[in-house]
Structures are given as C-alpha cells and as structure tokens.
Chains A and B, each alone.
Chain A
Amino acid sequence: MTAEWRKNEQPGALAEEALLLVRRAPAAAWAGYLACSVPFVLALLYFWTDMSRGAQAYERCAPAALGLAALFIAMKTGQAYFTALLLDTLAQRTRPWSLRRVLRMAAVQGAMQPWSLFVLPVALLLLYPFVPVHGFFQAWTAFGDGETANLKQIRGRAWSLAMQDLRPQAFTLWLASPWLLGAGMAAAFGTVRMMELIASGGAVHNAEWFGIGAVLFTLFAGLLSPLGFALTVNIGILFATIPALLRIFLGWETLFSISGFYALTNTTFLAALFGVAYLCMDPVMKAAYALRAFRAESRHNGRDILVAIRDMRDAREAAP
C-alpha cells in the first residue's frame, strides 16, 4: 500500500477530494444532472403542495404518483450520466455515448434505484447497516453507466465497493448526505408538531413554537448533517429575504411577503428547503463515489498510474 493510498484512507480526504472533483466536473455533466434532477424536485414540490392543500387532489393522486415515479428514474439516469462523466474526467478518457447506452443506463438504474427509497429509511432506523447500504446504491449509480446490462456483475462490484473503507464512507455520508439532513429536519419538525398537539394550541405563541423548532432543527440537523444544516440555513435566509427585498425595492407583494411568518412554518417551505439542499449536496456524494469507483477499478487495470504518468509527461512538456 503506497503513501497515497494511506492518505486517502483519512476520513476527511475523500470528502475534500470529492469537492475538488465537483469543481472540475465538465459542463455536459452538470447539464445532464440538472436537466434530469430539477424536474423531479419541482414535481415533488408540486405534488407535496397539491396533496397537502388541493381540494380535489385525491383524484389526481394516482396519475401524479406515476409521473413522479417516472421522473425519479429519469433523475437517477441523469445522476448516473453525471457520475460516468466524472469517472471519465478522472481517467482522462472519452467514452462514446449512444441512445442505446442511455436507454440501457436508464433501465439498469430503474431496475435498482427505486428500492433505495424502501430500503434506506429502514437502514437509517437501524443505523448500523446504513453506511454500506447507502454506499451500495451510490456505487450502483457509478457502475450502472450503460456499458453493461449485466445486473449480477454490477451488483457484485457495487457491493464490493460498498463494503470497503467504511470509515471514510461514514464520514463523507455524515458531511454530505441529504438523507441525514432529511432525517434531522423530519425529527425536528415531528417533535415540534407533537409538542404542539400535547400543548393543544393557544398556550404558546406562534413565534415561540418557531423558536423551539429552530432550536430543535439546530440540534438534530446540526448533529446529523453539519454541512447540510449550514446549507439549509443559508437557503432559508435567502428564501425569506427575497420576498422582503422585492417588496421594499420594487413594491411587489408576493404570497410569501403577505403570509409573513406563516410562510416559514409550513411543510411546503421545509420541502423546498430540502429540495434545494439536495441538489447542492448530492453531486458531492456522486463525486465521492466516482472517486472510490475509479480507485477500485485502478486496482485491477492500473489506470491511476497511467493518469499520473500522463500528468507528469504533460507537466514536463509544459515546463519552459
């Protein structure tokens, strides 16, 4: 084992390198990621708002759920494309893309990723298996890039990667996983609602409930996902400030500026916060698993050595 490998075993090194890789991601990767992920997040927000407020929403529930399911698979396909391009960036290679490969990638992702929404919440409740199970689905995104449709082979490689180096995986997950942020937000919100029910309303003022909620959110989300917590607070301040600025400078009254305090305490606002935070945090997780997949592949084909030699040659040629 070389010194480079030992360095990479430090828990923080993987997250740090993932952030650097995200900054190096090509424009095509971002285009693919956002084009497939943003529609799902927007559709989920619309679905959430409609189901929580729409008078005739129950009539639309089944078709809307089907549309959401299709958009989820499209999102996972876009994320697999993003990860494949990150892998190509690391390996300094270009692989051809065809419609057939994209369809194969969508089928491979659609065959496994839907089950992540069933399995991951259970694994999160049990705590211990969450790291490898989460790692398995991330590795599936990396390996299910449409090069092969052999699910058994992809499963074997993904599971092998998920079971290696659990400590750096756990640290990256703690730092950048939207799942832990979502768990923290849900725990804080659920606790406040339960306290409200116990107090049976009227005894405590709304602003005090908001304060209690903020403290609980800091406690739960701050502990479970520190990066996600900081990100969510920033996005929340942005969301709360924009309507006020529009009203002050342009005189535009929006639903948010009219609602005032109530705009911040409903479930749709929290879902919107989580949706934007997810779009910011998930690429870092994808980059972390692209790095891990590249290193695992390099143990077999020595690609990292070839890349290092090419970098050295380029640096020597560029030197005066």
Chain B
Amino acid sequence: MPMNALRDRRCFHHPHREAVARCPECRRFYCRECAVEHDSRLLCADCLARTRADGTARRPSWPWHLPLRLLTGLVGLWFLFYVMGRALLLMPTAFHEGGRTAAPTAETGGP
C-alpha cells in the first residue's frame, strides 16, 4: 500500500482518526484499532468474521483430492523403496560385507 493512498484518508468507522490500512476484501480504509492481521493480511473486523464463517461453512472435512494425493504419495514411496531394493540386490556381496574384499594373505599379514 503506497503511503500516498493512505494520506488524508480517514477510518471508515472513526472519521476523526487517520487510516493506517486498507482492507483488501472491502477496499475500505481503517484505523489502527479496526484493522486486524489475519493469515499475513490486514483485514477489517467484518471481513475477518465473514472469511472465518465462509471458511467454516465451505471447507469440506475431506477435500476430494486428498485421497488421490495420499495414493500418489504412497505409489511414489513404493517406487523409491523398490528402486532402493533393486539397487541393493545389484550390489555385489563384497560391497555389503566390507573388509572381505581384502582377504588376508601371507603378504598382507595373513596366515
């Protein structure tokens, strides 16, 4: 909000007070006491109440895409672990068993 837009503006509810914010919902100007920060936005009390009421009324407890996203996540994980398993299978035993690649010999201090 540029300062020029707020200059000489008065609060919608308190005409004797200067405005400090403009509600992005109703586009009216409000003073410090009438504007409320909600979800990183400055709203007026009426719009805040309306937003909350709408959110409660409209928000479905289970959005339709949630099971789909859960399934996508599960399939993605399945793929990742499957690839990991196949990679482990492809690695030679010597890789997993460590020091067995360098079997002790007479030259290296073995029997």
Chain A residues within CB distance 8 Å of chain B = 47-48, 51-53, 57-58, 61-62, 64-66, 68-70, 72-73, 100, 104, 106-108, 110-115, 117-118, 148-151, 156, 160, 193, 196, 199, 201-206, 209-210, 261-262, 265-268, 300
Contact = CB atoms under 8 A, between A and B. Distances in A.
A51 B69 contact: no
Given A65-B85, A112-B73, A209-B99, 20 more contacts: A47-B81, A51-B85, A52-B93, A58-B86, A61-B89, A65-B78, A68-B77, A68-B81, A69-B80, A69-B81, A111-B66, A114-B76, A148-B59, A149-B62, A150-B59, A160-B40, A201-B102, A204-B108, A205-B104, A206-B100
Nearest to A62: B82
B76 A113 contact: no
B26 interface: no
A107 B66 contact: yes
Contacts of B95: 193, 267
A300 B42 CA distance: 11
B85 A262 contact: no
Interface of B: 37-40, 59-63, 65-67, 69-70, 72-74, 76-78, 80-82, 84-86, 88-89, 91, 93, 95-105, 107-109
Contacts of A300: 37-38
A73 B66 contact: no
B92 to A, nearest CB: 10
21 contacts: A51-B85, A52-B88, A52-B91, A53-B96, A61-B89, A64-B85, A100-B61, A107-B66, A107-B70, A110-B69, A111-B72, A111-B73, A114-B76, A150-B59, A151-B65, A151-B69, A202-B103, A205-B102, A206-B99, A262-B100, A267-B96
A210 B74 CA distance: 38
Nearest to A156: B39
A100 to B, nearest CB: 7
A150 B63 contact: yes
Nearest to B109: A205
B93 to A, nearest CB: 7
Contact of A65 (B82, B97, B103, B104): B82
Nearest to A100: B61
A51 B89 contact: yes
B80 A265 contact: no
Name the residue in B63, B93, B96 with the highest tally of chain A Cβ atoms < 10 Å from its Cβ: B96
A210 B72 CA distance: 42
A117 B98 contact: no
Nearest to B40: A160
Nearest to A210: B99
Nearest to B74: A69
B61 A104 contact: yes
A256 B27 CA distance: 73
A218 to B, nearest CB: 18
